[in-house]
Structure 1
Amino acid sequence: MCKRSRGFRSCSMGLAPSFMVALGLTAWSAPASAYRPFDGTDAAVAKKGEMEVELQPAGRLRDESGTSLIAPAWVLNYGLSEDWEAVFEGQGQTSLSPSGPTSLTAAGAFLKHVVVPGSLQDKTGPSIATEFGVLLPDSTGNSGVGVSLAGIVSQRWDWGTIHLNAETAITRDHHGDVFVGAIVEGPMTWTVRPVAEIFYENEFGKEETFSGLVGLIYRVRDDLSFDIAVRHALTGGHPVNEIRAGLTFGFPLSFFEGHAMRQAQPIPPR
């Protein structure tokens, strides 16, 4: 899959440290709207000055090449203004069968802009956003730099929410690529809501992918959610099976700025 992926494609941080960092940061969480466990995304951005984190401590991916451990996978969303955010992402991938080294894959840097505020911004009508950026090379292999441009339309009703994604890209292997997908969620008022995603992707001259995902999102509180999902796909006619589990949280960066300023203040003499 060539697109910047909230799904799958040498990390020094392992499973246990990354999970502990995530749990620690949730103590200062603010409401998060980043979107796990999907490959697509929503037409919303992080609040100005806030960081939203999507973290998967570990996941399992099995395709025609064997079984891989995805640990960790992350997406960082920083609110630049009311309707712009910066997005940074990547993941560690280790081949388990056959065994192989850990590499950094699916890395990228993007800008996301809400073009038309709508139901996701507590207004009427659909929310419309665009996202564009650079696909960075993997840490191993011969992949290069790619680019992508996406459009997102989201609409929320009392019964649930739908997000439509369309993306075109030049992949890291310099193939043309198109991606279209849809995410459907249960009511936002439910503590545990069912979710599903389908998408089609065509990397021209290489392979097509048909993918389906089903899962659950458990909202512990407005600023912390956990998710679990299973995904089955056909890529180039070969089956791909995946298990995803992770969490989403956010925090204002002003917390760290205030903490640093307090640490830098001189201690008054007694």
Structure 2
Amino acid sequence: MLVTGASAGIGAALARFYAANGWDVILTARRRAPLEALAAELAATGVSTTVVTADLSDPLAPPRLVDEIAARGLRIDGLVNNAGFSRTSGFLQTDPADHAAMIRVMLAAPVELARLYAPMMVERGFGRILNVASLAGEMPATGGDTLYGPIKSFLIKASQGLHLELRGTGVHVTALCPGYTLTEFHDVNGTREQVSAAYPAWMWQTAEQVARVGYRACELNRPKATPGAANVLLAALGKHLPDALALAMVGGHARRLRRI
């Protein structure tokens, strides 16, 4: 199982969950030290672990990653596309290079890695592709974090299309759409204090809870999984509310975060 963005959070939790279910794991992210620590932890359980660092914001990273894994004689039967980040300072205030990196890491790289590995999985009649999207992909885009939701929406739709295309081949494809999750994600984008104060504890899930839902959904070959009843309700509201009301809802969300 190749897990991108495995250095922390949902990626690390998914790596632990797959290892606990007997999968050998290949861990990749930009930071080597946390990957090596996780690899040592998982190796103690008896599975094979491999660390390959990669910066998926580099357009050449996906084929290089595939080539390095192949050069080590390793076969990929599962792919977790989890790597991601966001910028919340606003569209006009964000460096265009950061926007380009977001698109490469969370949209282009998952598509390319799936395209590179899916044919091999189909040929063997077995495979798992789990794309970590977001509840944000099922809601109107939020001002201030303008590209994150649309990118995740693309990933959901692409996953659903690939799920249909590969039905009956033995290759399962699932989009995982978590809501607020207790990881370092909000520390990295600088919104930890705001989101922690803005939303009650019952809206939050642990990375382990999210990973469990994602693993089970992919094993059952469900096209999409949204962990948590509250998040399922929010996704339904985002889909069925009139545009004006849905935009007002996410607009209030953005204003609430800015005031705190």
Q: Give the alignment's TM-score, normalised by structure 2.
A: 0.34
From the two aligned structures, give the one with the greater strand fraction. Answer: 1
From the two aligned structures, give the one with the greater helix fraction. Answer: 2
* Structure (1 or 2) with the larger CA radius of gyration: 1
Q: Give the alignment's TM-score, normalised by structure 1.
A: 0.34
